[in-house]
């Protein structure tokens, strides 16, 4: 996947999946006001699944809510 902060790629350093929650750690921390979006390509193994167990489809430029205050 690719994650962008204010249009610039922000290196993904770790991804953790626990139940229905996906936590992404990036090299450059977010600050209030950053615009964040992410791309996801379904991998060959360990694909993200929704709560019903369905494989999540690939997506491009999905907006991420920035709750940093």
Cα gap 18→28, rounded to integer Å: 23
Q: What pLDDT score was predicted for residue 19?
A: 77
Provide CB contacts within 8 A for 49, sequence distance 6+. 55, 56
Query: What band does 39 get if pLDDT is binned at 50, 70 and 90?
Result: very high
The model's pTM: 0.79
Containing 13, the helix (H) or strand (E) segment is strand 12-18
Work out the angle at residue 68's Cα, subtended by the Cα atoms of residues 62 and 51, and round it to the nearest 5 degrees.
45
Report the C-alpha gap between 53 and 31 in whole angstroms: 33
Distance CA(63)–CA(34), nearest Å, equals 11
pLDDT of 49: 85
């Amino acid at each position: 996947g690719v994650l962008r902060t204010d249009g610039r790629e922000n290196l993904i350093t770790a991804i953790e999946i626990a139940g229905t929650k996906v936590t992404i750690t990036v090299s450059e921390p977010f600050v209030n006001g950053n615009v964040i979006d992410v791309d996801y390509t379904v991998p060959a193994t360990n694909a993200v699944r929704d709560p019903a167990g369905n494989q999540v489809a690939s997506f491009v430029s999905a907006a991420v809510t920035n709750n940093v205050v």
